[in-house]
Amino acid sequence: MVKIRGIEFEGNLDNSMGLKFHNLSHRFGFQHPNWPYFQDVQIERIHYMAKSGVLSQRITTTMHATTHIDAPAHVVQGTPFIDEVPLPHFFGTGIVVSLPKNKWDFITGDDLEAACGHAIRPGDVLILNTGWHKKYEDGDYFAYCPGFVPSAGEWMVKKGVKVVGHDTQANDHPLATAIGPQRNGPLLPHLEKEWREHTGGGDWKKDFPEWEPVHQILFKNGILGIENVGGDLDAVTGKRCTFAFFPWNWDRGDGCIIRLVAITDPTQAYRIEKGEAF
């Protein structure tokens, strides 16, 4: 018997496998933090107990909200949509790496090599903990996150990373997106002056000359990116884990909200079934 919101529930929700499951996703729902120009999520109760004796809800949302995975087709034309990515890409082993970063810091290839070059394996899922998941809210998180620069993407290609996840707002530095002077931007024009003051005279158009270059590097090489990792990230940092993060089977989907889960087996008693007839 378990308690849910203080109510005893007799259904079998116990974990009897001896495995530990760690949620690495931020919440999805009413007024969750949102990227600067996205419409807020809308959740309506179409049916509810007093009305219909059942609960049914209708959701209007972008898929690039809270913890989510991008399909390559989100940025690069002619690459796979989310339903075209092979299922094994959403499951695998890998590492959670501590890489503390401050406001607008770059995450470089040298940073990744120093933090985990000795531990990364070809085909790994790489999850980064910069500490910014603790700042995830509707204020400074999206505009001031640290972010990848092209050398980081090139390092991941060289090392054969399968999927990268991180507790920041995008697979690029925020000023290399529409938040800064790129494509549909700047969404937040006041950041130009702040960047100049932050860098002692930097020109954000010269410092970020390309639109989402790390997205381009990753997606053209079949590496998917999980944005806005959070939850119990600290509990598995520094550990090798198994990860599962399956999206919807969405025809021509550009990405999908996911439940990113890290799984560990302390007793080493669990085995994957062979799939034989019974």
Residue 249 lies in a domain: yes
Per-residue confidence (pLDDT) for residue 270, from 0 to 100: 72
Per-residue confidence (pLDDT) for residue 12, from 0 to 100: 66
Extract the residue ranges of the chain whose pLDDT is less than 70: 1-4, 9-14, 271-272, 275
- Is residue 24 within 8 Å of 229, Cβ to Cβ? yes
Residue 101 lies in a domain: yes
Residue 248 lies in a domain: yes
Distances in Å between the Cα of 93 and the Cα atoms of 28, 112, 261 are 25, 18, 11
pLDDT digits (tens, 9 = 90+) for 217-229: 999 999 999 999 9
Two tokens at 109?
């290839």
DSSP 156: H
Per-residue confidence (pLDDT) for residue 10, from 0 to 100: 67
How far is residue 230's CA from residue 133's CA, in Å, rounded to a whole number?
5
Counted domains in the chain: 1
CATH code for position 207: 3.50.30.50
Pairing of strands 255-257, 147-148: unpaired
pLDDT digits (tens, 9 = 90+) for 34-66: 999 899 999 999 999 999 999 999 999 999 999
Residue 273 lies in a domain: no
- Is residue 262 within 8 Å of 241, Cβ to Cβ? yes
By residue range, what is the domain housing residue 249? 18-27+62-264
Alpha helices in the chain (DSSP H): 49-52, 109-116, 141-144, 150-159, 191-199, 204-207, 213-220, 233-236
